[in-house]
Structure 1
Amino acid sequence: MKWAVLLGSPDISGGTYVIFEHVIRAKRRGIIVYMITEHPISENSLDWHPEARELNWTTFSQCQDMNFDIAFATWWRTVYELYRVKAKSYAYFVQSIESKFYPEQEQALRKLVDATYMLPLKIITEAHWIQEYLKSEYDKESYLVLNGIRKDIYYKEGAAHASRESGRLRVLVEGPLGVPFKNVEKTIQLCKQSDADEVWLLTSSPLTSYPGMDRVFSRVAIHQTPKVYRSCDVIVKLSYVEGMFGPPLEMFHCGGTSITYNVTGYDEYIRNEVNGIVINKDDEEQVICAINSLKNDRSRLDHLKEGASKTAKEWPDWSHSALEFEKAVAQIIQQNDNCTREILEKKSKFFFDFYMLAEKQKNMNGNKVSSIAKRFLDHRFPRIYKYLRNIKWKIKVMACRAN
């Protein structure tokens, strides 16, 4: 069997991590896996997950004459690239409802993202809430494969950067900076307002320090992250949009607990007051109160850690999850009722044309096209992008002349 997996970027992220864990195991079981990107990847881009070097890496231009049993889109943008790959079947690995990543004012872009769920693709997803959303909003059935955990890496006893101390509370904030829906900056502020003794930051953003942080760990390879988790008592992760986030589960395996918002996907494994604390979105006062309670009530902290350890013990590892993923792929291929490459190309371009019209109209009205849309258009459709820029320039010239 031969898979083509379309990847937007090999850079460090939770979504890319999940993809790697599935396909690395598929490759080790004898499946031929090609990771396809627009441009050749640099060797150091995989430093954070060295095992991904086992995979075959290629580009769209390099694989034009190759044939695959199945090709996967793994991000909304890669859906519109699927037709560039020759395959018997086409599928979509959905890890979140990605239109929620973008601001409300970017309506055209959000619709383009949502349109990916209307294409005739078989879908595999990682969380119950996504499966239910796709069914209720788009009448799309999907295969559900929950994410696993690296039990060979994440476990309670092991090396740490610092020992946990009775009577002291060390808090961990995790996530990239500058991403609004991850809400990391606000999380840091709230933690610093609490009674926590120390606040550490684990981030994929390239930095060596951050104001108010006692320690910062940047772009850490996966095998080194447990040392950070084992040093902290609780992870505070207040993101607004998630598929099924992994860091709290990793913290559970390393002997800690969590404080999160009631964000999408939290209920896959977090139980309020059983293994973690769940706060209503944007109830910032309660976040601070929760941190303070863990600082001042050791019995509550110990109870939640015990519940988290039980959850960790019962959670399946990646070997189990990857095998379930492979079974879902086999069923998709066997059904042989997917859309053809030609149909996929036509439908993809049809949806994209509507997006272009919307962006053109917005541009005609004098609004700026989003930087995200600009990069996408310039990268994938340079002629159209140039055409739109010429229109905008002509409008400006006409306006100047009118004045």
Structure 2
Amino acid sequence: MVALRHGIILQDAGVDVVLLNVDYKSEWCEYEGHKIPVLGQNGKMLEGRFDKVVATMWPTVSFLENYPNIGQRYYLVQNFETDFYEPGDILKIRANSKYSPIVPVKFITISKWCQEWLQERFGHETLYAPNGIDQSTFPHLKRDFSGKIRILIEGDCGVYYKNVDESFRITNALNPEKFEVWYMSYSAEPKSWYRVDKFLHQVPYEKVSEVYAQCHILLKTSFLESFSYPPLEMMATGGYAVVVPNDGNREYLRDNENCLLYPLGETQKAIEAIHKICVDESLRKRLYEGGLQTAKARDWEKIQGEILELYLEENRD
């Protein structure tokens, strides 16, 4: 979605934008009221020059390396994709190799954490522009804590670094008479031992804000993220977040100012944080106001100029 957002910002600025997909299933991509043509990546079926090409995940870097008629090559790095795979997986080595491509590439990122390790580990001076949120799609409202409290868990439990098991070790320990648990996952099904009152599967992104709005607290326990959107989205709707800090959320999360943080693995502290939000009205007021301010500062309209600068400034070494 971030790559698509960059695409429509460029399109609005008068740039001809095309998506190079890994398959041939679509000819057009419609997103946020925009329509972008789609081509397959097979170099044998393409002919012509691209002024700029942006790789968006490690397998797409191969196109930068193999297609000759490109003016400027970019790699939009949104995570340390090497750690998507566990030790022993050949894909871990292949992902890591793409941070040292065989052709000149300009590295850009939406995460200050990514900017740091790209410099320290690979020697790349990396351009940065912050991630944003479309506030119009995440209207806010104050939560009523007088009745049963609804906890939202989000993430694919089949992906180890999402650490969803820890979320359920926390919510399984909560009083089911006082707390209801919703689980939202696009790919994975809940495990048999999870206590889930409502499972939300493959919710379209345009409906996600409605899910947030129906919940009081988001519990997010991932330990690897380049930029973690769910806490920011929950804040934008006026909800609360209890979160494990990681390199991808420290950029905007502030403990006791816009969320409550707890250390990875210390589930009792997470339980205490949930209860604290439920009983402390002054804390809720502070987190509510801090969360809304954080979301407003990240509105795409405020940062789209920084996005354009990544791609349109000419002759940058």
After TM superposition, is the score higher than 0.5?
Answer: yes
Bigger fraction of residues in helix:
1
1:87 Cα deviation (Å)? 1.1
* Conserved 8 A contact 2:8-2:34: no
1:72 equivalent among 54, 64, 69 = 54
Give the counterpart of 1:238 among 194, 201, 221: 221
Partner of 2:204: 221
Q: Aligned letter for 2:282?
A: S
Determine which structure has more spread, i.e. the larger CA radius of gyration: 1
Q: Deviations over 1:46-84 (max 9, x none)?
A: 7xx743871111102375103111111110111123234
Q: Report the equivalent of 2:182.
A: 200
Q: Is the 8 A contact 1:194 1:291 kept in 2?
A: no
- In the alignment, structure 2 segments of 5+ residues that lack a partner are none
The AA in structure 2 aligned to 1:273 is N
Q: Give TM-score, length-normalised by structure 2.
A: 0.88
Distance across 2 between alignment mates of 1:169 and 1:81: 49
**Greater RCO (Cα-Cα under 8 Å, separation 6 or more):** 1
Give TM-score, length-normalised by structure 1.
0.70
- Of stretches 23-32 and 109-118 in structure 1, the one that deviates more from structure 2 is 109-118
1:263–1:281 contact (8 Å) kept in structure 2: no
For 1:54, the aligned partner's letter is K
| Aligned residue in 1 for 2:156 | 176
Once residues 262 and 215 of structure 1 are traced to their aligned partners in structure 2, the CA distance between those partners, rounded to angstroms, is 26
* Separation in structure 1 between the aligned mates of residue 48 and residue 204 of structure 2, nearest angstrom: 33
Determine whether 1:295 maps to 2:278.
yes
Return closer, same or farther for 1:269/1:131 CA change in 2, 3 Å cut-off: same
Q: How does 1:294-333 map onto structure 2 within 5 Å?
A: 294-313=277-296, 315-331=297-313, 333=314
* Residue identity in the other structure for 1:94: V
Q: 1:103 to 1:209 in 2, by over 3 A?
A: closer
Q: How far 1:111 moved relative to its partner?
A: 3.3
State which of 124, 142, 146 in structure 2 corresponds to 1:166: 146
Q: CA deviation at 1:90?
A: 0.5
Deviation at 1:97, TM superposition (A): 0.9
RMSD: 2.6
Provide the secondary structure at the position in 2 that maps to 1:334: coil
Does residue 1:138 correspond to 2:122, yes or no?
yes
Q: 1:293 Cα deviation (Å)? A: 2.3
* AA in 1 matched with 2:254: R
Question: 1:104 deviation in Å?
Answer: 2.7
| Preserved contact between residue 169 and residue 294 of structure 1 (Cα < 8 Å) | no
The amino acid that maps onto 1:272 is: D
Report the CA distance between 1:89 and its aligned residue: 0.8
- Aligned partners of 2:157 and 2:190 also within 8 Å: no
Q: Partner residue of 1:149? A: 133
Check whether the contact 1:25–1:319 (CA below 8 A) recurs between aligned residues.
no
Measure, in 2, the Cα distance between the counterparts of 1:215 and 1:42. Answer: 33
2:80 aligned to 97, 103, 108, which one? Answer: 97
Identical pairs, percent: 28
Which of 325, 331, 334 pairs up with 2:315?
334
Q: Identify unmatched segments of 5+ residues in structure 1.
A: 1-16, 338-403
